[in-house]
């Protein structure tokens, strides 16, 4: 393909910025500020992608030797991604508070001597970062809330502790064979692929709809012996042969939440990170992992719960709160819930 043909083909795609401008009127409290906030997030994602593509050539492999707030060893790319997203959001001026997996406390952003921004951004700067050294896809997850209308005074963590149903935007970036940004503002889900030749995210997956059911389940079966009985029965059910339902299902577990979720969103499937004996509240974080992905999957026609309660209805108590998670194709999640709640059993 010659350069002229390639340029003509690229011209058929909308850039993320063009798409945001066209949809701006449908954004909550449309003033242009929300559009600029999404732009700031996309800029940070491009910078993280740039560093990711140089992994192995520069010293960004390995850990920093420090523990993050989760008690996990912090990877160098975790710290870099956190720094770049905070920098972009601080510079943009539309954000008044940031909550990050890599920071113990919420980070207030003060512009011009006061908290001028109207949006709260909660994020996992780099999900699955321990997989970078073996070239496995990783990602960024973000969640956006508007400041409560009755807020008075300085912005605090309590302003961020809103249920997922209050989100005004959410998305993720997957850094894989290509880099994609997928987001929703409550009006459908759209995906954009980064074209490195022009440095722009281009609309490649408009109006994403996830299949009602699928043939894949993603779970770390190494923890099987610590699963509750209902989940064990569901897994056995998934493994049984049944032509009508397409079973046995395939196990597909990457170990990077964004990657597993992205595959299931497009192809159909269920992702499970349950409560276990050692982690009775699960491992994934409600505010910046489960909530944004639940918002996205529901906008795409899927479902998300903790096995009993819809994720978006859960009232958060703290920034780094954990939750079990069952997320993906609606029929598969409902079946898993039925086993957990004793409404289904193995024949």
Q: What is the mean pLDDT of residues 197-208?
A: 96
Residue closest to 199 by CA, chosen among 49, 58, 23: 49
> 190 Cβ partners below 8 Å, 6+ apart?
19, 182, 183, 184, 203, 205, 206, 207, 208
SS (H, E, C) 180-205: EEEEECCCCEEEEEEECCCCEEEEEE
Beta strands 250-251 and 216-218, pairing class: parallel
pLDDT of residue 309: 97
Predicted confidence (pLDDT) per residue in 90-105, tens digit:
999 999 999 999 999 9
- Tell me whether residue 211 is in a domain: no
Predicted confidence (pLDDT) per residue in 290-311, tens digit:
999 999 999 999 999 999 999 9
**Cβ neighbours of 12 (radius 10 Å):** 8
Residue closest to 35 by CA, chosen among 43, 46, 27: 27
Measure the CA–CA gap between 250 and 260, rounded to whole angstroms: 13
Q: pLDDT at residue 331 above 90?
A: yes
- Tell me whether residue 311 is in a domain: yes
Predicted confidence (pLDDT) per residue in 245-289, tens digit:
999 999 999 999 999 999 999 999 999 999 998 899 999 999 999
Measured CA angle at 103 (ends 163, 316), to 5 deg: 15
36: domain CATH number is 3.30.540.10
pLDDT above 90: percentage of residues in the chain: 73
Whether the bond between 118 and the residue before it is cis, its omega within 30 degrees of 0, is: no
> 272 Cβ partners below 8 Å, 6+ apart?
217, 218, 219, 231, 325, 326, 327, 336
Total tally of structural domains belonging to the chain? 2
Banded pLDDT at 6 (limits 50, 70, 90): very low
Q: What is the mean pLDDT of residues 170-187?
A: 96
Beta strands 270-273 and 216-218, pairing class: parallel
Whether residues 336 and 248 fall in one domain: yes
Cα–Cα distance list, 6 to 130, 183, 195 (Å): 36, 26, 12
- Tell me whether residue 346 is in a domain: no
Whether residues 159 and 243 fall in one domain: no
Whether residues 70 and 138 fall in one domain: yes
Measure the CA–CA gap between 287 and 162, rounded to whole angstroms: 9
Whether residues 171 and 257 fall in one domain: no
pLDDT of residue 1: 41
Whether residues 283 and 309 fall in one domain: yes
Residue for token digits 């720094």? Answer: 83
Q: pLDDT at residue 73 above 70?
A: no
- The answer to whether the Cα torsion of 280, 282, 288, 290 is positive or negative is negative
Residue for token digits 């923890």? Answer: 223
Measure the CA–CA gap between 206 and 203, rounded to whole angstroms: 7
Please name every residue paired with 303 in a beta bridge, in sequence order, or none if there are none. 328
> 94 Cβ partners below 8 Å, 6+ apart?
33, 34, 36, 37, 40, 117, 118, 119
Measure the CA–CA gap between 181 and 44, rounded to whole angstroms: 12
Structural domain harbouring 186: 3-205
Cα–Cα distance list, 101 to 19, 79, 123, 163, 304 (Å): 29, 10, 7, 18, 21
Whether residues 51 and 153 fall in one domain: yes
Predicted confidence (pLDDT) per residue in 23-53, tens digit:
877 665 556 889 999 999 999 999 999 988 8
Average model confidence (pLDDT) across the chain: 89
Q: What is the mean pLDDT of residues 230-254?
A: 96
309: domain CATH number is 3.40.190.80
Whether residues 198 and 255 fall in one domain: no
> In the chain, what is the straight-line distance between the N-terminal and C-terminal CA atoms, in Å?
57
């Amino acid at each position: 393909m010659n350069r002229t043909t390639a340029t003509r083909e690229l011209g058929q795609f909308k850039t993320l910025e063009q798409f945001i401008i066209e949809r701006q009127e449908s954004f909550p409290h449309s003033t242009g500020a929300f559009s600029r906030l999404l732009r700031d997030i996309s800029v940070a994602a491009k910078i993280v992608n740039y560093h990711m593509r140089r992994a192995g050539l520069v010293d960004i492999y390995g850990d920093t030797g420090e523990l993050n707030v989760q008690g996990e060893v912090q990877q160098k790319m975790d710290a870099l991604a956190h720094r770049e997203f905070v920098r972009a959001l601080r510079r943009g001026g539309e954000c008044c508070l940031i909550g990050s997996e890599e920071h113990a406390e919420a980070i207030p952003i003060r512009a011009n001597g006061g908290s001028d921004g109207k949006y709260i951004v909660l994020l996992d700067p780099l999900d699955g970062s321990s997989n970078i050294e073996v070239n496995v896809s990783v990602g960024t997850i973000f969640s956006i809330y508007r400041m409560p209308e009755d807020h008075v005074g300085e912005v605090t963590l309590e302003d961020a502790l809103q249920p997922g149903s209050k989100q005004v935007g959410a998305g993720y970036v997957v850094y894989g064979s290509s880099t994609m940004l997928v987001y929703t503002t409550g009006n459908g889900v759209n995906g954009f692929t980064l074209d490195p030749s022009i440095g722009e995210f281009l609309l490649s997956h408009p109006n994403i709809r996830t299949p009602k059911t699928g043939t894949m389940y993603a779970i770390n079966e190494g923890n099987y012996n610590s699963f509750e009985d209902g989940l064990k029965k569901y897994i056995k059910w998934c493994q049984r042969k049944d032509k009508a339902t397409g079973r046995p299902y395939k196990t597909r577990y990457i170990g990077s939440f964004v990657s597993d979720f992205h595959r299931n969103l497009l192809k159909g499937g269920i992702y499970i990170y349950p409560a276990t004996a050692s982690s009775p509240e699960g491992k994934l974080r409600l505010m910046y992992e489960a909530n944004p992905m639940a918002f996205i999957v529901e906008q795409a026609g899927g479902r998300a719960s903790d096995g009993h309660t819809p994720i978006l209805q859960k009232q958060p108590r703290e920034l780094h709160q954990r939750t079990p998670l069952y997320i993906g194709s609606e029929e598969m999640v409902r079946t898993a819930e039925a086993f957990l709640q004793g409404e289904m059993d193995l024949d």
